[in-house]
């Protein structure tokens, strides 16, 4: 079955340090790939997306993600984390098939320490 795996449930990073959140998907073809962020009590906000072309995509708030077909991965990165980045991050895939919708990973909670 198609699935999205975010191996890290919770990550703590020091402010100013770099960040990488992992995402792996299980699907035969390359789906469309997304990262969303959810702050407490808020809805999900789209950070970035990949559907073709350059495998390194830039998003909002200084985030970027790299698609690696050989590893079925779409990891999210940020070179220097700010305290305001503390939130829950979700990786999602769009299989682009009729009758399907975005499939989300379980999420990674990011805490930022000072």
- Contact positions vs other proteins (CB under 8 A): 32, 34, 36, 42-46, 49, 51, 90, 94, 96, 98-107
Q: 3-class SS at 28?
A: coil
CB of 39 to other proteins, least distance (A): 10
CB 74 within 8 A of CB 57: no
CB of 10 or CB of 79, closer to other proteins:
10
Cβ atoms of residues 11 and 110 within 8 Å: yes
Shortest spacing between CB 38 and other proteins, in angstroms: 9
């Amino acid at each position: 079955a198609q699935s999205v795996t975010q191996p890290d449930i919770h990550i703590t990073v020091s402010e100013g340090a770099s960040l990488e959140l992992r995402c792996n998907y299980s699907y035969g073809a390359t789906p469309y790939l997304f990262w969303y962020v959810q702050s407490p009590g808020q809805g999900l906000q789209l950070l970035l997306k990949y559907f073709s072309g350059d495998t390194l995509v830039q998003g909002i708030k200084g985030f970027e993600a790299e698609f690696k077909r050989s590893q079925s991965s779409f990891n999210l990165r940020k070179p220097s984390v700010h305290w305001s980045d503390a939130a829950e991050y979700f990786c999602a895939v769009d299989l682009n098939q009729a009758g399907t919708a975005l499939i989300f990973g379980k999420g990674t909670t990011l805490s930022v320490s000072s």
